Amino acid sequence: MSFKSTPLIIATALSGVIAVAGWVLFLSSDDAQSIATKPASPLLSPIAASKIVTSQIAKQQVSYPLTPEAINALVNQGDDVLAENTDQQAVPLLLPSSLLGSALPLMLDVNEFGDLIINKKIQHLFDFYLSAMGEESLDIIVTRIKHSLTSQLVDPALIQGMDIFSGYLQYLNQVTAIKQQFELEFEPVFEQSIDGINNSEYALENVIQVREMVLDARTTFLDDDVIAAFFGQADEYEGYMLRLAAINQNKALTDTEKQVAQAELDTTAPEWLLAQQHTANQLNQYREQYQTLQTQGASQAELQNFTQQSFSPAVADRLVALDVKRQQWQVKLAEYREELAVITNNAADENSDSEQQQLEIAQLREAYFSPQEIKRVSALDGIDSTRRSSTLSNNSISETNSISAHTTAL
């Protein structure tokens, strides 16, 4: 397995370090205020906990990361504390829009002794509800997770599940602090390295440093078996990518020596990673040949026949179904883009207000897409808007330079 020696390797590794860390807790002032008004943690006296949280809120409007005491207060508050905000129900019956239609987390596993079996299902449950951060306040999300645990577990599994949840929140809270520190200290240097202005080895050192901070946060708040279940495979991938980046960035090695080092690294790589890479390479070759056939004017039947010959029947059927789904998506997206252009053009012509335009765009998205698809479309629209703005800016600069050149010539 081989990868090109580019700063993209560092970017991939670094994004993995932060992304694999989990859902970072970005709390709004409403989140922080809701925590401050809830009953204190049993681990502290009500007055002491109240002072800690209230003091934190007073220091800054947006309060993140929280103190460990505030996280404890949040997790250990009673299950009925949300009644005042949720029509006398501890857990809102309706899921936030981004989770509607999504498959609910699988039931957690318990062994014959009543102990919780530590596996990825637990993290999936936590992350499922935490993914709604921004739509719901943190205290509601915490209550949802606690309700899910209490509805399917009894002691000792329930106690174990709650302990893991508390540690997981503490860990994510600490990752928030690490992310802030990274943005302040490392990100400018990292971005310069990608642009070729600075030394990429320094960026790699920063990546490794951030990763070590994240790993330290895990061991502080989570047991080894939980860490292995939640992050084991991701850690193997990150470790491989960082070692690969170190080889590619080693100026003391010739290209041939780098290839030898990469081959040796592959011999120690996990089997699942090698199998995944083999599958990815096979799919890339398939896509290239498929696109070549399309360019040459192959019929749909010929394309499907090529797919059937390239893979096993089960895989081929899935790829054909995926291709049909992709085509349907492109048609739907194109129709949406046409109507979106009408809205944005009318807004420009009539100088209509931005709030009305955003409302019309939101209604248009809801008419075409599911809640999950809306997230994807919103991101695509943002990228498209940025690209257009960049193009306009570049064109403006070019025109200015052209005018300046003509003026100088005159």
Q: Which of 38-47, 93-102, 335-344 has the highest mean pLDDT?
A: 335-344
**DSSP assignment of 198-226, as one string?**
S-HHHHHHHHHHHHHHHHHHHHHHS-HHH
pTM higher than the cut 0.85: no
Q: Which amino acid is at 194?
A: I
Considering just the CA atoms, what is the radius of gyration of the chain in Å?
Answer: 26
As a dihedral over the C-alpha atoms of residue 93, residue 94, residue 100, residue 102, rounded to 10 degrees, the angle is: -10
End-to-end CA distance of the chain: 59
**Does residue 171 register a pLDDT over 70?**
yes
pLDDT-above-70 percentage for the chain: 69
Whether omega before 42 lies within 30 degrees of 0, making that bond cis, reads: no
Chain-wide mean pLDDT for the chain? 74
In a 13 Å sphere around the CA of 242, the CA atoms on its Cβ side amount to 21
Mapping DSSP to helix (H, G, I), strand (E, B) and coil, where does residue 251 land? coil
Among the listed residues 58, 56, 85, 90, the one whose alpha carbon sits nearest the alpha carbon of residue 70? 56
SS (H, E, C) 319-352: HHHHHHHHHHHHHHHHHHHHHHHHHHHHHHHHCC
23-32, 54-63, 310-319, 323-332: range with highest mean pLDDT:
323-332
The answer, yes or no, to whether residue 86 has pLDDT greater than 60, is no
Residue bearing the bigger pLDDT, 130 or 3: 130
Residue 202's pLDDT is 58
User: C-alpha 99: how far from its chain's center?
Assistant: 15
| Predicted local confidence at residue 155, as pLDDT | 92
Beta bridge partners of 136: 133
Higher pLDDT, 164 or 60: 164
Asked if the model's pLDDT at residue 143 lies above 80, the reply is yes
| Position 122 pLDDT exceeds 50 | yes
pLDDT tens across 217-244, in order? 999 999 999 999 999 888 888 888 888 8
Instruction: Tell me the backbone φ, ψ of residue 136, rounded to 5 degrees.
Output: -125, 150
- The pLDDT of 178-207, averaged and rounded, is 63
The SS3 call for residue 375 is helix
Q: Which residue has the higher pLDDT, 59 or 297?
A: 297
- Per-residue pLDDT, 354: 75
Residue 276 has pLDDT above 70, yes or no: yes
For the cut 50, the answer to whether the pLDDT of residue 81 exceeds it is no
Give residue 112's pLDDT: 92
Taking a C-beta distance cutoff of 8 angstroms, is the pair 258, 248 a contact?
Answer: yes
3-state class (DSSP) for residue 250: coil
Question: Given pLDDT bands bounded at 50, 70 and 90, which one contains residue 378?
Answer: confident
Q: What mean pLDDT is predicted for residues 80-100?
A: 59
* Higher-pLDDT residue of 127, 33: 127
Phi and psi at residue 110, in whole multiples of 5°?
Answer: -130, 140
Q: How confident is the model at residue 313 (pLDDT cuts 50, 70, 90)?
A: confident
Handedness of CA 58, 59, 65, 68 (dihedral sign): negative
pLDDT of residue 63: 59
CA dihedral 299, 301, 307, 310 (to 10 degrees): -100
Range of weakest confidence among 12-16, 27-31, 96-100: 27-31
C-beta separation of 131 from 145 below 8 A: no
CB of 200 closer than 8 Å to CB of 7:
yes
Task: Give the per-residue pLDDT at 188.
Answer: 56
pLDDT at residue 55 is higher than 70: no
**In angstroms, rounded to a whole number, what is the distance separating the alpha carbons of residues 301 and 307?**
10
Q: What percent helix, strand, coil does the chain show, rounded to 5?
A: 75, 0, 25
What's the angle, vertex CA 119, arms to CA 117 and CA 123, rounded to 5? Answer: 120
Share of the chain above pLDDT 90, in %: 16
